[in-house]
Amino acid sequence: MITVGLTFDLKDDYRRLGYSEEAIAEFDTIETIEAIDENLRALGYHTVRIGNLFSAVHFLASDKRCDIVFNIAEGMHGIAREAQIPALLDAYQIPHVFSSASAMNLTLDKALTKMVIREAGIPTAPFTVIRHIKELNDVNLPFPLFVKPVAEGTSKGIDGYSLIDTREKLHSSCAFLLNAFHQPVLLETFLPGREFTVGIVGSGKKARALGVMEIVFNDACPDKIYSYSVKKEYEKYVTYRLANDKLAKQCAKLALAAWNEIDGKDAGRVDFRTDRNGVPNFVEVNPLAGLNPTYSDLPILARLSNYPYRELIGEIMQSALERAGIKEEANDESGYQTSHYSA
């Protein structure tokens, strides 16, 4: 039987350490961990809950091992934080689901990712990065602009102040973001059109678009941007719907090209928004997409596509096992109990 270690950042662990709700916004609830664990066991895997980076270090230093790791840990510190556990597992030659440390390191830096995507010929909005407020004097992008931290997820650092139509607002918003997030700020030409996210499953030539979901902003939604506050109350502010028109199909094709360009593995999401001419522009790629079965975008997209959550988890595992050359078959509904590891 294949033993799957689970690595994750649990919100409650960081609340106990005094971190704010926004600081831990990307992390997972116990309900998400239990959903993944329960479905892995139902698929016939033996699971071991390891926890965050520090628990993983202790786990490995204690000479404990597993066959493969289902890693959804986002990491707390540094722009390379999503790469920390994959890199640690690489050092111990333990395979893991989802993309490599190098892909994780690239994609959390949204500016570097846009450079790679632009070089590949995929449309993305003109952009620049500032590391100090004085650098705004050299910014010549036309208004309206959109600003956000260069390396955050879950739309952290995105809200009404992100949409910029004057130089005064540009200065105040960038000053706020530089001070609040302690990282460079990405400035992009604002994309005023339709917003899509494309779900991807698989790796390399076997990667496929699971579906294209359009985020439709309700009348109550302020500013019509998919912000941190909108995501927290998504049932009030947005409607999710599958899109299958010509534009959606174009997004799916571009998403697969972007996915392979960053060497994405097993599953993820690629986001697009159309410009004033209706052309879909790459926004960002998420190779570590949320997996809460109720409110994360990829499971929502799967649900709208009549693709059960368990099948999504199973396909992620099969993709990773195939890449790792692990051929042992899991047994359905094995009834094995989950092991718990305490650092």
CB-based contacts of 244: which residues, under 8 Å, 6+ apart? 212
Cα(320)–Cα(45) distance, integer angstroms: 14
Helix axes 30-42, 309-324, angle to 10 degrees: 70
The residue whose two tokens read 């890693």 is 71
Cα(226)–Cα(50) distance, integer angstroms: 33
Q: Residue 144, preceding bond cis, omega within 30 degrees? A: yes
> Is pLDDT above 90 for 91?
yes
The CA-CA-CA angle for residues 141, 147, 148, to 5°, reads: 145
Is the entire prediction scored with pTM above 0.75? yes
- Averaged pLDDT score across all residues of the chain: 93
Q: Check if the beta carbon of residue 285 is closer than 8 Å to that of residue 110.
A: no
Identify the three-state secondary structure at position 153: coil
Across 176-197, b (16+ Cβ under 10 Å) vs e yields: ebbeebebbbbbbbbbebbbbb
Per-residue pLDDT of 125-174, as tens digits, reads 999 999 999 999 999 999 999 999 999 987 888 888 999 999 999 999 99
Across 136-149, b (16+ Cβ under 10 Å) vs e yields: beeeebeeebbbbb
**What's the pLDDT at 336?**
41
Q: Check if the beta carbon of residue 147 is closer than 8 Å to that of residue 187.
A: yes
**What's the pLDDT at 92?**
97
**What's the pLDDT at 126?**
98
Q: Which two tokens stand for residue 153?
A: 């997820």
Cα(54)–Cα(59) distance, integer angstroms: 9
Per-residue pLDDT of 289-334, as tens digits, reads 999 999 999 999 999 999 999 999 999 999 999 999 998 654 554 4
**Phi first, then psi: what are they for 272, rounded to 5°?**
-135, 155
Q: Check if the beta carbon of residue 48 is closer than 8 Å to that of residue 5.
A: yes
Confidence of residue 224 (pLDDT cuts 50, 70, 90): confident
**What's the pLDDT at 229?**
83
